[in-house]
Amino acid sequence: MAEPGFFITFEGGEGAGKTTQIARLASKLREKGYNVVVTREPGGSPGAEAVRAVLLSGAVEPLGARMEAVLFAAARLDHIEQVIRPAVERGAIVLCDRFLDSSRVYQGVTGGVDRTFMAELEHATVNGSMPDLTLVFDLDPEVGLGRAFVRRGDHTPDRFEKEGLAIHQERRHAFLAIAAAEPERCVVIDAGRDAALVEDDVTDAVFAALTERSIKSLNDVAGV
């Protein structure tokens, strides 16, 4: 992603605790004087939030995973142009709850949309706005779905939560495969532990990445 800001995404299965950890990290970063923008996908901009409602209601499901993939991509393009890129360009740290890797996993791997088509969509939307850092929250799906169930209360599960355990297991492996393939961008966080321990790992990963970036910037200034 273009400097001077920093773009961090949070990925993983259902009920992995991303939202809680994003809120904690945001306050920690703000305390240190960083300008922080918290956002999410699908959604994050007015246009993308409209698409979110349609996608999560399940209304698009009968039209197929390819149609869903296109709509997630359309929402992402709007979100990048309206929110993410401007924020990074003005020097903010953007914390985004789900992004591109969710499409790769949910629409690509478990949705069965072919790789070439997914790569073309990715190129048309994300090109030039890849995250600087992605934290992959790894959790046994049985635990995650249980947490999502408690969080949801009386509400019915959304389009993706309601799918069977085997599909959620496949997604877990797909997220881990992405992290293994792109170790320079991804850090796996063991999300099955106490929230305070998860928070420590998130803090360490983020501050290490920020430190690395600022060293690079200093070197640039010094002409190294």
Per CB under 6 A, residues contacting ligand TYD are: 14, 40-42, 56, 72, 97-98, 102-103, 106-107, 158, 160-161
Nearer to ligand TYD, 102 or 134 (CB): 102
Nearer to ligand TYD, 41 or 199 (CB): 41
Least distance in angstroms from the C-beta of 102 to ligand TYD: 3
Q: Which tokens go with 198?
A: 């998860």
What SS3 class is residue 62? helix
Alpha helices by DSSP H, 127-187: 141-152, 165-181
Q: ∠ at Cα 143 (104, 107), nearest 5°?
A: 15
**Beta carbons within 8 Å of 93's beta carbon, 6+ residues apart:** 5, 6, 7, 8, 29, 34, 35, 36, 37, 210
Nearer to ligand TYD, 61 or 190 (CB): 61
Alpha helices by DSSP H, 32-164: 46-57, 65-79, 85-89, 100-102, 115-125, 141-152
Least distance in angstroms from the C-beta of 31 to ligand TYD: 25
Nearer to ligand TYD, 45 or 102 (CB): 102
Least distance in angstroms from the C-beta of 63 to ligand TYD: 14
Least distance in angstroms from the C-beta of 206 to ligand TYD: 19
